[in-house]
Structure 1
Amino acid sequence: MDITNSSSDPSNIWKTFERTSKEGHIKQFWIQSLPDSHIEIAVNYFTECFVKEEPICRAMNVMETEGGLEAMKNIWRNAISEKCCLACFTKDDKNEHKLVALNLCYKSSSSSQKTESHSYQTINDYISNFKNLYQMFNVDGYLGSVGLITLPEYRGYNIGKELLESRKYLCQELGLKLAVTLFTGPASQRLAEKAGYKDVYPVSIDEIEKENPHLIIPNLRNFTKKLRLMYILYDF
């Protein structure tokens, strides 16, 4: 598969795979680090898809809340700036490279300092810090994530699972043995299970509100019943 052009550095490609389309055509995909040329496309994809589908964003009505969308964009851009985001490409009908799925990852270390105060990040941080993950897994750092999306027209190819599995190669490159993510919806939680992720601990909405009343998000129960902090430990 020839994937060498301005959007794809072959040394940066973590995985390739094929799928059969509904029309019976073989489609080729590859996963690489997100190139700088596609940063704004990535932010736009997350604006169009993630905030409209992710349970916490939906419950918070991020699209309609003043400053909510800009705060989310800052979270995404901070992750992108760390240069460890995974992007899945394919070729469209014009044989041009098309970005079809993304996983915005970041490296968390025991010395990391949090700068975001948006409610979405606050909940993520609260659950992630409920236990000391560094001590629990005896690591100095881990690969975290602020979101994963697949464009609607490319769903059904199991691309999300391929992205999660590609974290292994990214972690190896970064010298990390642990990947941890807060999976907020039933679909993403099932996807994580298929990719080999296990629970650090699941947290019900009732538990969050009981322990931290200031984290109450009205209507969150309408979109998810449980938030699951999940991990995978690699044996490098």
Structure 2
Amino acid sequence: MPFVRPDTVPFPSIWHRFERVKDGRTRKFFVQDATEDMFPFLLDHMVEAFCRNEPMCKSLDINSEPESIEGMEILWRHILEGKMVIVCFEEDPEIPGKPLRFVGCNMTYIAEKDDPTMDELIIGEKWKTIYDAVDFCGREGSKILKPDRYMGAMGLSVLQRFQGMSIGKEILDARIPLCKAFNIPWTVTCFTNIASQKLALKCKFQNLFEISYDDLEKVDPRFKFDIKSTKTIRQMYRQVE
């Protein structure tokens, strides 16, 4: 039975707050649930930023294939409708809790053991290649850990102007109180970029499965990615405690 967010937890909720000091000024941030009015903006952001920067998307030039972009939007919209996606904002210094500007997001969702696959949502040759590579890593990881319920994700993105401030780490950390609120015991994700892999390690994620991009091509000739910045792809997990 697919996960349905219960009404017992307020929506939207703020899950995490943190601060950064820059140029002698303290800036406040928070991570909250993504609400429906944000969906069009978040879809545009993921297409514009994530598809341009994620190593496999960049390698295959996924933005050159409209059908694949449509396919990614279909999947992300499906995830957004689950009401478990989280968004980071810089807080208005004058009005606590009011967003001043968008910072980043994580396309998080809840998966359960007997859920149907998302395969039917996948269209576009390039997107299917990337999705299948991620799915392969997930299946390999599940040979070690196969929880009945966990939080997964299909994309972590932070605006370029905020990169280098460990914002991604804070967004990953926000998963923990979110999972606790819904009794989700694990969070499991495929990290494809060296930057996100380093952030995940700082957030106490551990490897379930790791394979080099060179060896990934040996699994399936479609998985040929010309990636210099990141050597491996990692399926990682963190127990929610």
- TM class, shorter-chain normalised? 0.7 to 0.9
> In the alignment, what sits opposite 2:114?
111
**Cα separation, partners in 2 of 1:57 and 1:92, compared to 1, 3 Å:** farther
SS at match of 2:116: coil
How far 1:131 moved relative to its partner? 4.0
Q: Distance in 1 between matches of 2:225 and 2:171?
A: 31
Instruction: Report if aligned partners of 1:59, 1:223 keep a CA contact under 8 Å in 2.
Output: no
Instruction: Report if aligned partners of 2:213, 2:232 keep a CA contact under 8 Å in 1.
Output: yes
Structure 1: any 5+ residue segments left out of the alignment?
1-8
Deviations 1:128-187 (A, max 9, x none): 012436xx4462111110011111112232111011111111111222111111111111
Q: Distance in 2 between matches of 1:54 and 1:191?
A: 15
> What is the percent sequence identity of the aligned residues?
27
Q: Distance in 2 between matches of 1:94 and 1:69?
A: 39
Q: Distance in 2 between matches of 1:208 and 1:217?
A: 8
What is the TM-score normalised by the length of structure 1?
Answer: 0.86
How far 1:206 moved relative to its partner? 3.1
Instruction: Report if aligned partners of 2:30, 2:91 keep a CA contact under 8 Å in 1.
Output: no
**Cα separation, partners in 2 of 1:226 and 1:18, compared to 1, 3 Å:** same
SS at match of 1:63: helix
**Amino acid of the structure 1 residue aligned with 2:132:** T
Instruction: Report if aligned partners of 1:202, 1:226 keep a CA contact under 8 Å in 2.
Output: yes
Of residues 218, 222, 225, the one that matches 1:210 is: 218
**Cα separation, partners in 2 of 1:205 and 1:157, compared to 1, 3 Å:** closer
Tell me, yes or no, if structure 1 residue 222 matches structure 2 residue 228: yes
SS at match of 1:175: coil
> In the alignment, what sits opposite 2:51?
51
Number of residues of Structure 1 aligned to a counterpart in Structure 2: 222
Q: Distance in 1 between matches of 2:142 and 2:11?
A: 37
Matches within 5 A, 1:12-27: 12-21=13-22, 23-27=23-27
Deviations 1:36-56 (A, max 9, x none): 221111111112210111001
Quote the RMSD (CA, aligned, Å).
Answer: 2.1
Instruction: Report if aligned partners of 2:140, 2:209 keep a CA contact under 8 Å in 1.
Output: no
What is the TM-score normalised by the length of structure 2?
Answer: 0.84
SS at match of 2:63: coil
